[in-house]
Amino acid sequence: MLESSEGWTADWVWGVPLVVLTVLVHAFGLALIHQYGVGRLATHLQMRRSALVFAAVVGTTALLLTVLHGAEAAAWGTAYVALGALTDPRSAMLFSLNAMTTYGHDNLGLAEHWRLMGALEALNGVILFGLSTAYLFAVVQGHWPSRDSIAPPAPPGPRAPTRPT
């Protein structure tokens, strides 16, 4: 059974700043991904709207978003170990990824007086994945291959007569 709501003060004191911090880090990370990842890659590939460029841009974006989410989960995991909510970094990281993705795990749980913090992390994950989804949608929309770039070339037909100049 959960303790009284008085025991939840520390969860709010630690959890809310972590939510704000990770959302700010995420927004800054998205800006960096856009400027240095997607932007440079698209420029390097000369902004061709082809299926290959599309795959490279979306794949790179997905990889960088995964790294960003992993770093944010590590921040929560570090807090769990520092606060004594979990005892080892490996379990803390696994719990954090489970909470952030709302996947959950039967065998992992926070110390009873830190459980609200796990719920706050799940809320944080919804916000972060919402931002990532919106950004990934914008990338897909901005780099969707044009119909001409993925259609096979038209077979050569009869040549039109040329006019003398």
Residue range 67-100, pLDDT digits in tens: 999 999 999 999 999 999 999 999 999 999 999 9
Question: In angstroms, how far apart are the furthest CA atoms of the chain?
Answer: 94
Of 11-15, 29-33, 47-51, 104-108, the range with the lowest mean pLDDT is 47-51
Q: Tell me what the mean pLDDT of segment 24-52 comes to.
A: 82
Tell me how crowded residue 31 is: count the other CB atoms within 10 A of its CB: 11
Q: Tell me what the mean pLDDT of segment 119-134 comes to.
A: 96
pLDDT tens profile 52-70: 878 888 899 999 999 999 9
Q: Structure tokens of 86?
A: 């979990």
* pTM value > 0.85: no
* Dihedral in degrees, nearest 10, Cα atoms 88, 121, 70, 133: 160
Question: Please, which pLDDT band fits residue 8 given cuts at 50, 70 and 90?
Answer: confident
Let me know the angle formed at the C-alpha of 26 by 23 and 31, rounded to the nearest 5 degrees: 130
> Is 111 in a helix, a strand, or coil?
coil
